[in-house]
Amino acid sequence: MDRNEKNSEKLHSAANAVLEEAAAGLAQILAEMAPQLEPFPAFLNMVSVQAIELEPGLQSREDRGCLVVCPDGGIRSLELTAIPGAAGVADVDQVEQFQELDLPPEEYIAYAAQAVELLYAELRRRGL
């Protein structure tokens, strides 16, 4: 391995470390901000689901589904499933599932940055 290759590997490792540090810092900020919103906003005006949808202008490498920030500040994928209700076929209940994500730092940073802005806007709207 020549000197240029060693230098480029070192710089690449340094860049990855900075991304990981930034992602960890944003995760900590979200974990502190989100609990300040009590009650946490309802997802699409559904009283049973507390989450804020995230839609950064980011082209993900794969379909992530509906990503949300949750009351604990975590960024998760939300899947809503309609199921027949107890009263009959015309009645429908829903089941919500939050899935943990393993986002690469550069994707997490984009979603977390939007989450911080949305949480901040809601805190300001409430005068907090």
Measured CA to CA, the distance from residue 37 to residue 71 in angstroms comes to 8
Question: pLDDT of 112-123, one tens digit each?
Answer: 999 999 999 999
* Residues in a beta bridge with 73: none
Rounded mean pLDDT of 41-49? 89
Q: Model pTM?
A: 0.83
Give the length of the chain: 128
Query: Does a cis peptide bond (omega within 30 degrees of 0) precede residue 105?
Result: no
Q: Which two tokens stand for residue 80?
A: 């809503």
Question: pLDDT of 81-91, one tens digit each?
Answer: 766 666 655 56
Rounded mean pLDDT of 66-82? 91
